[in-house]
Copies of this chain bind each other. A is one copy, B any other.
């Protein structure tokens, strides 16, 4: 016991920076080993580039080059035509963990404001690499930085800085650094990542040059883009005490009525008044002087109140059925593809939209009996791991496909499911699969069933066309003989004019055929 006591003074209490925390626990952000890190680095940088374009209605041109420098060291270079990082923000945007522009309520790929810096940090700790960043917001100057991260203090260290003229008004960002990786084993996932990303973004030019010299190229096939997501106020179902407390501190309202009507999504004066009446709190109460008990009551009652309008989807940016269809056709040239978009729904105050598609035939492969081709996306990010833990798989297994005349085990069928949300309900922080929230489950189920019904109709038409064609073949073959025999039997010379009948049958078969024609074109 006394031994224990004497050791008190030796116990080291210490505070560590956020960068240091993530350096020590880098598996949280997907940097467990060189294979995973190689994939994660590419993914994080590409996502940042795509967000820098899409959120500003810029058609993305993204170019990724991975170079093998030997001894397991790779150099990554990612170039985009995005909005650019403002001059004074560059060091923080690439050299300080938990600094970013994504801490708002709208759909974006990143959720942590963490991935890009973790990529840079991983490069630094495995190969002592600095990061080189060239950026411009399209003004008269472009600026080059060479940075590293002071991990213990979570601060950028500027190694070099250069401002040069930008006569061409170039706009975008180029980032480059080295890291220890394993390209050979990460290769299939990387290619799959680009392929699936391109499906959702037929309006993007994406080029990826791999270390083995192969150039993967996904060309823009449309000039149409989804509208960007807008930032919204928080919905009363999606707040907690800490958040409301902060909102009160930040607000200038001196009455509860005013505070509610001005700070919440889908809450106006009338709704605020009715709500306050129902929970018996005075509209004139000053929120800044409210006691702890009232605050708890206010927030907990918000979640139970049934009269708030559900959140709307202006903060979301779904792909849309046309673009999704175009992307699927470019990749799979299916015989038929059914695409649907559900109306916005919400879970726990967070709005979401489900888009789904089922493609049949064409270049859709027939998978082994116990596998299914399911492509999942969340806020336009392909999810490549842990399919079997995902809610989409649960729903697919539950649906009775026979009802839709689909044999998912033997037919060449591919499923596509895309969830857009201000907060995607990932089950883990690895961002690889979606949790089974009942609201999400319901929407996925009905999206898939809608597609399946459409596909069933197509299959029915196709079957009728097939029957009409077969009938025609029989007539075409036997009608001349029949005409000849019956002429002979009747003792006549000239056979009847069966051509007219045949022509009518041919016209019918053609019509049925056309009606079932590949809608996918």
Residue numbers of A with Cβ under 8 A of B are 1, 3-5, 7-8, 11-18, 20-21, 23-25, 27-28, 56-58, 71, 83-84, 86, 89, 92-93, 96, 98-101, 103-104, 111-113, 124-128, 137-138, 151-152, 171, 240-243, 245-246, 292, 295-296, 300, 426, 428-430
Residues of chain B lying within 8 A (CB to CB) of residue A58: 1, 4
Contacts of A71 in B (CB 8 A): 300
> Chain B residues with Cβ under 8 A from A17's Cβ?
18, 98
- Which residues from chain B contact A152 at a C-beta distance below 8 Å? 246
With A3-B57, A25-B429, A112-B25 already in contact, the answer to whether A18 and B240 are too (CB < 8 A) is no
Instruction: Give chain B nearest CB distance to A88 CB in angstroms.
Output: 9
29 contacts between A and B (CB under 8 A): A1-B57, A4-B58, A4-B83, A7-B56, A12-B101, A13-B86, A13-B92, A13-B93, A13-B100, A14-B101, A15-B92, A16-B99, A18-B98, A25-B112, A27-B426, A27-B428, A27-B429, A28-B28, A71-B300, A124-B242, A125-B240, A125-B242, A127-B296, A128-B295, A152-B246, A428-B428, A428-B429, A428-B430, A429-B429
Q: Which of A84, A103, A151, A295 has the most CB of B within 10 A?
A: A103
CB proximity of A80 to chain B, nearest CB, Å: 13
Partner of A127, one of B1, B15, B125, B241: B241
Number of copies: 2
Given A4-B58, A15-B98, A21-B112, 5 more A-B residue pairs with CB atoms under 8 Å apart are A3-B56, A14-B100, A14-B103, A126-B240, A128-B296
A28 CB contact (under 8 Å) in B23, B86, B103, B429: B429
Residues in chain B near residue A103, CB distance under 8 A: 12, 14, 16, 24
Which residues of chain B are near A100, meaning CB under 8 Å? Answer: 13-14
CB-CB < 8 A to A241: which residues of B?
Answer: 124-128
A83 touching B15 in the complex, CB below 8 Å, given contacts A28-B429, A125-B241? no
Name the residue on B nearest A294 (C-beta).
Answer: B128
